[in-house]
Structure 1
Amino acid sequence: MTFIATQRGQVVGTVSTRLDGGSPLNCDALYPDITAAKRAQGHRLAEFGQLAINTTNKPLEAMGPLFHLTVMFAHKKNAATHALIEVNPRHVAFYRRAFGFTVIGEQRHCLRVDAPAILMQLDLKIVQDQITEQGGSRYGRISVFPYCFSLAESKVIERTLLRPI
């Protein structure tokens, strides 16, 4: 599933979510030992990827709602417990600061993009708690959580998102 953020009718961001199940996650190819261990511990995995933000004007305002929808889709609709992401080592600090990801896999060479990668994870229950606490407050400069939807907005969106298709 790919989510798209727009501002004034222009696409300013995207993020994709792959769910564990039918086909392997991309990170299974590079980190099969870690993903197998997570599954053996009973975790349900989702993989976030292709995060792109094309705005110099208030990027957190574009990322917050986009990230929140991704978390809702993975955690609330599909019962994922953890989200994984492969990032270039030079982006680790950003993902840690902005989203709360933690490093769980050492640097390896990703043939898919012919670049180094580090595996990071999010505990989606903790993230959901942070969103509930901070969402909609629109303050802060380093984290997306204040720019996520408020609790009232979340409830409206969840009713639509969680509705059977």
Structure 2
Amino acid sequence: MFDTVTTESVSLGSIADNGEDAYSSSIVDVTINESVFGIRAADVDEQRSSASMLISKMYAWRGYGGNHQIGNDPNRITLTASNKDGGVIGTLSLNLDSEVGLLADQVFRDHIDPYRAQGKVCELIKLAFDPSVKSKAVLASLFHVAFIYARDLHKCSDIFIEVNPRHRRFYEVMLDFQVECASRPNPRVDAPAVLLRGHIARGTQRIAEVAGKGDHAVGDRSLFPYFFSLREEAGIIARLKRIG
């Protein structure tokens, strides 16, 4: 799915004030082979529309139905990865538990409720990534910033995701997700879905072990070596806390 990234450097970008252009408002910039990608929160209609277009394109290509538009939901954080021209090449959303619950409750509530009773849960939804951009580092950056939002800003203990059974191994190998419930029909996308769970404590451990090592993490096939280093992670956490 991804080519090996053999030469890369990661630099922390600036969080822009309102009024600056979309590209300069990135949470963090990822520089790979002289190409710069900005990771940002899609908090204006134009950014959400661009993310929605990418999701619709990639989901249609896979034959998934349903409504893939991203709205202005106070319990949802949508992140995008954009190139230097502002084109969205990747997106995912973190859906926080609330009185309306999670989208996964529609099919898997019986498996989510026990974790909800013990801590705060959330889910990853609406992941789409342009297949022409074969970079583990950019994809890992999206997941890492979502993880920071879940763990450090919203104190979640578990992250769920519904995936098509044929994509299960990607999340197991790349992000240490575990199967929580076997395949069930998912009417939102008119396709089967497996419920996977990621434990925040386990993710924190993996980040401490290998984050920032990239290709030097010999034998580790996951995305965790391409997560930000602990020093870079601390800088991102501080920035996000400053902006609330």
Give the match for residue 129 of structure 1.
Answer: 205
TM, length-normalised to structure 1: 0.92
Q: Is structure 2 residue 124 aligned with structure 1 residue 45? A: no
> Where in structure 2 are there 5+ consecutive unaligned residues?
1-76
Residues 108 and 116, structure 1, Cα contact 8 Å, conserved in 2? yes
Q: Deviations over 1:9-34 (max 9, x none)?
A: 43221110001124210001101111
> Where in structure 1 are there 5+ consecutive unaligned residues?
none
Residues 3 and 14, structure 1, Cα contact 8 Å, conserved in 2? yes
Q: Which moved more, 1:72-81 or 1:140-149?
A: 140-149
TM, length-normalised to structure 2: 0.64
Give the match for residue 152 of structure 1.
Answer: 231
Q: Is structure 2 residue 189 aligned with structure 1 residue 113? A: yes
Tell me how far apart the structure 2 counterparts of residues 97 and 125 of structure 1 sit (CA, whole Å). 17
Amino acid at match of 1:23: V
Q: Which moved more, 1:132-141 or 1:121-130?
A: 132-141
Residues 103 and 118, structure 1, Cα contact 8 Å, conserved in 2? yes
Q: Is structure 2 residue 190 aligned with structure 1 residue 90? A: no
Give the match for residue 163 of structure 1.
Answer: 242
Pairs within 5 Å for 1:133-144? 133-139=209-215, 142-144=221-223
1:4, distance to aligned residue in structure 2 (A): 0.7
Amino acid at match of 2:188: R
- Secondary structure class of the residue paired with 2:183: strand
Residues 53 and 59, structure 1, Cα contact 8 Å, conserved in 2? no
1:90, distance to aligned residue in structure 2 (A): 0.4
Residues 60 and 143, structure 1, Cα contact 8 Å, conserved in 2? no
Q: Is structure 2 residue 18 aligned with structure 1 residue 18? A: no
How many residues of Structure 1 are paired with residues of Structure 2 in the alignment?
A: 164
Q: Over aligned residue pairs, what C-alpha RMSD do you find?
A: 1.6
- Secondary structure class of the residue paired with 1:162: helix
The structure showing larger relative contact order (alpha-carbon pairs under 8 Å, at least 6 residues apart) is 1
Q: Deviations over 1:55-106 (max 9, x none)?
A: 4443311111110000000111100000000000000011111111100012
Give the match for residue 30 of structure 2.
Answer: none
Identical pairs, percent: 33
Residues 15 and 51, structure 1, Cα contact 8 Å, conserved in 2? yes
